[in-house]
Amino acid sequence: MHRVLVIGLGAMGSSATKQLAQRGVDVLGFDRFRPPHTHGSSHGQTRIIRQCYWEDPRYVPLLLRAYELWRKLEADTGKSLLHVTGGLMIGRESGVLVTRSEMSARRFALPHEILSASELRRKYPVFNVEDDMLALWEENAGYLRPEACIEEQLGQATRAGAKLHFDEPVLEWHASAAGGVSIRTAREHYVADHLVIAAGPWAPQVLRDMQLPLRVTRQVAYWFEPRGSIDLFRQDRLPVYLLETEATHSVLYGFPLTGPQSEGVKVAQHGSDETCTPENVFREIRPADELSIRERLAGVIPLLGGRLLQAETCLYTMTPDNDFLIDKHPEFPQVTVAAGFSGHGFKFATVIGEILADLATGQMPEYDMDLFQLQRFRNRGFLQF
């Protein structure tokens, strides 16, 4: 029987392991911790999911399939994982967030509406936007519960026969030019026909010999107590949102109240220049972190300026172009690499797991994969081999 090893059981690895096991593959999954955990990128209670994709319209077919697979996972498990609230992409007409979101929406006939600044303020009074701003309302946007998603993917993988090795760090891996792979963990040595590496922020270490242009950055998410009534932040009054103010500022993103009122309302800035590793990332919240987010909120969502109730750090693994890396190893076709999801990958986990299972079993994915190829780094001078 074809055997596949999977390194990393976060969002992508748990999905790939589930897909492989459900296809009858002998699959072993490894993680240095017991997922879901707070050491990497797949935690924080919520992740936005949306279809009007400003980053690149080539992502949209994958998103449409991802929605189908998230709904299937819900049906298979009886758990509620994907919550549709609608979504707002807010920015200036001269910016990229609204205009590119609308391009994707029109190209794929996605349900949406364009709101003027006055319409936005009237419908969603938490936003204090200038008159030259506008918003794209996306009907199908919402959020996922990342910890529950990973738990259910791993549960389905186990039920389908996958063998999961938690708290078992992979120390090294090898592939032969003649075929086959092996890994050595802190406990044992394993051999197989194929290896999938979905190591999240540990990818630069696991794939150090490839010298990939990956950069791990520290991110902080915050949960604030609103000033005054919480009602304007409830899910029947506020959708998920992305907000672009100036080209030089990172995108602000946030959620309605998704848990008890005592938890607060989640908001964050997308992106950071603070590089780190999973081992040396500063996990505590600095006064400067809180000051930075409060300065952003004061201008556009002043009602979200109450007490900071909690905050968490997580990690982005960035590529130079912010597009994913999903490809075969350049020397060893029996090794598949999934890395560099650049802070917008979680929503794709179900379909990426499907793609990784295809690649690990010799099938061709049904999507345009050019966007994710390793070759683009060579073409742009980021890789020399």
Per-residue CA distances from 254 to 270, 308, 309 (Å): 10, 15, 15
Please pick, among 39, 145, 296, 347, the residue that the annotation labels catalytic: 347
Q: Which of 270, 276, 328, 361 is catalytic?
A: 270
- Out of 217-226, 245-254, 335-344, least confident range: 245-254
* Contact yes or no for 182/174 (Cβ under 8 A): yes
Q: Is 47 annotated in the active site?
A: yes
Answer whether residue 382 shows pLDDT above 90.
no
278-313 pLDDT tens trace: 999 999 999 999 999 999 999 999 999 999 999 999
State yes or no: is 163 an active-site residue: no
Question: For residues 342 and 270, what is the distance between their CA atoms, to the nearest angstrom?
Answer: 10
The yes-or-no verdict on residue 72 having pLDDT over 90 is yes
**Residue 266 falls in the annotated catalytic set:** yes
pLDDT band at 384 (very low <50, low <70, confident <90, very high): low
77 is catalytic: no
Confidence of residue 385 (pLDDT cuts 50, 70, 90): low
Is 328 marked active-site?
A: no
Q: Which domains does the chain have, with CATH numbers?
A: 3-43+146-210+321-379 (3.50.50.60), 64-143+215-318 (3.30.9.10)
Q: What is the pLDDT of residue 249?
A: 83
Distance, C-alpha 22 to centroid of its chain: 23
Of the candidates 145, 218, 266, 376, the residue annotated as catalytic is: 266
The single residue of 65, 149, 314, 317 carrying the catalytic annotation is: 314
Helix 349-360 and helix 60-77: axis angle, to 10°? 100
Q: Which of 330, 382, 331, 328 is nearest to 360 (CA)?
A: 328
C-alpha Rg value of the chain to the nearest Å: 21
Structure tokens at 370: 């050019």
Pair 7, 343: CB distance under 8 Å: no
The verdict on whether 344 is a catalytic residue reads no
Percentage of the chain modeled with pLDDT above 90: 96
328: nearest Cα among 368, 351, 362 = 362
Q: Does residue 14 have a pLDDT over 60?
A: yes
Distance CA 133, CA 268 (A): 20
Residue 330 confidence (pLDDT) = 95
pLDDT at 150: 98
Instruction: Find out whether 40 and 49 touch, Cβ atoms under 8 Å.
Output: no
Q: Could you write out the three-class secondary structure of the chain? A: CCEEEEECCCHHHHHHHHHHHHCCCEEEEECCCCCCCCCCCCCCCCEEECCCCCCCHHHHHHHHHHHHHHHHHHHHHCCCCEEECCEEEEEECCCCHHHHHHHHHHHCCCCEEEEEHHHHHHHCCCCCCCCCEEEEEECCCEEECHHHHHHHHHHHHHHCCCEEECCCCEEEEEECCCCCEEEEECCCEEEECEEEECCHHHHHHHCHHHCCCCEEEEEEEEEECCCCCCHHHCCCCCCEEEECCCCCCCEEEECCCCCCHHHCEEEEEECCCCECCCCCCCCCCCHHHHHHHHHHHHHHCHHHCCCEEEEEEEEEEECCCCCCEEEECCCCCCEEEEECCCCCCHHHHHHHHHHHHHHHCCCCCCCCCHHHCCHHHHHCCCCCC
Scored b (16 or more CB within 10 A) or e, 271-307 reads: ebeeebebeebeeebeeebeebbeebbeebbebbeee
Report pLDDT digits (tens) over 31-40: 999 999 999 9
pLDDT digits (tens, 9 = 90+) for 204-228: 999 999 999 999 999 999 999 999 8
Annotated catalytic residue within 46, 85, 317, 319: 46
Confidence check: pLDDT of 272 > 90: yes
Give me the residues paired with residue 90 across strands: 135, 243
The model's pTM is 0.97
- Choose the catalytic residue: 43, 65, 100, 329: 43
Active site residue 347: yes
User: Given this model, what pLDDT does residue 187 score?
Assistant: 97
